[in-house]
Structure 1
């Protein structure tokens, strides 16, 4: 059974800790939630490879003059988060399968599951940031910059969210309301970076001082307003994901039974804890 609704807002739930780390190598839709699934691993690998290929292309397809500026784009920050979280997910699941089904040694699985906290933080940031990037790009930036449609353009500003939504639908681990602090933190970090870029005299390939048309630090009032609006949008995206997770849990419980998994992890620490 899960905790009460108010448990979602306990300050302890700011931290990425869960009493059952094995949920982070399981799919919500596998009936056996005690054994790592080879089918699930294949899906996870497909997601990781897709993200990795797109990530590589974002750099290799950038003109030579633009390559030094690759790190300043939020799109590339988001894609890097996507790659890192999907890689850690694959690593944990692969080591768990090798440890339990090949080596018959649970020590390997228990060791690699220590990564689950890092993965969880990266995952929640990647999910909210991907959805926010897609929304902002197609509603604001695409029209203002006069960008043209291309497959690559869609891959980094649309397909990124498609893959993260698939990822969200598959995983068994929870989304916590108070984990909103993590996508907000990465957004603050990016905003500070753009301000430093401007103050230090950074320029884009066309000589412009602006990384994005909504980030004009020589016009601080509207720029800060845009940044505040982005944070509000990011918050809405995370809250939406949280409620979608609750809906997903209800559907999962209807299919597999109320006690088939314990998604929230609000229960007290017990002897079942494997990783501290």
Structure 2
């Protein structure tokens, strides 16, 4: 198993059976499902709604986090929509499923790390209160993305942690620099961002260390999600093996 998971092909974002991006792991037959189609669009509406709510709030780096979530959810919905409307357009499905796959793996790690960091180190009731948007952004979003990994049929590749980690590092750098410059140039009422409180720019060494630590942790989280993917496949095999045995006639 290790040789297969660590082969060069596992770095790529190409799958030999793109149909797995159009179905759920728990479907009995690998075909388009109206229920799964509706599920993907409910997920897309959920993330876009949170993103819109976040833009209504004062300037905050959380918007960038949710943009990634919106891309992941909407691309997933568009992937299955294209398949429903144009089943013969394999090239269109091929282009968009890779975007969906990349952002889903990245968003899962990103949401988990940012949520754990927020509630463990940054949350201050006097500063943040208990607003519904905070709970949706740093709580419900993680539960939803984790649940989605138990629903979908496509895999998480272990070696994708390299791409996920690099992407996380770049995103973290952008968000950190945004926080730094908004803290310097903007009024205090506009600088209520997670990063302005997490990263103490008067101590650049500590700020850099925190960013590096969060980036490394994102790789660990990706490996944990890979373990959840393996658990999903194992549970699927157990459930459907049992069902197949029950349906098999026995000799009298």
Q: Select the residue among 49, 55, 65 that pairs with 1:78.
A: 65
Change (3 A) 1:257 1:20: farther
Query: Can you give the 5+ residue segments of structure 1 that lack an aligned partner in the other structure?
Result: 100-105, 261-276
In terms of fraction of residues, the more helix-rich structure is 2
Paired position in structure 1 for 2:35: 39
Paired position in structure 2 for 1:264: none
8 Å CA contact 2:21–2:153 kept in 1: the answer is yes
Choose between structure 1 and 2 for higher RCO, CA contacts under 8 A separated by at least 6 residues: 1
Give the aligned CA root-mean-square deviation in angstroms. 2.5
Paired position in structure 1 for 2:12: 15
Q: Select the residue among 187, 192, 200 that pairs with 1:216.
A: 200
Q: Select the residue among 130, 136, 151 that pairs with 2:132.
A: 151
2:214 is paired with a residue of what secondary structure?
Answer: helix
Q: Select the residue among 163, 185, 194 that pairs with 2:144.
A: 163
Matched, 1:132 2:113: yes
Paired position in structure 1 for 2:240: 256
TM-score by length of 2: 0.86
8 Å CA contact 1:22–1:113 kept in 2: the answer is no
Change (3 A) 1:185 1:205: farther
Paired position in structure 1 for 2:156: 175
1:119 is paired with a residue of what secondary structure?
Answer: helix
1:117-139 Cα distance to aligned partner (Å, 9 max, x none): 12111111111111111111100
The CA deviation at 1:209 is 10
2:129 is paired with a residue of what secondary structure?
Answer: coil
Query: Across the two proteins, how many residue pairs are aligned to each other?
Result: 240
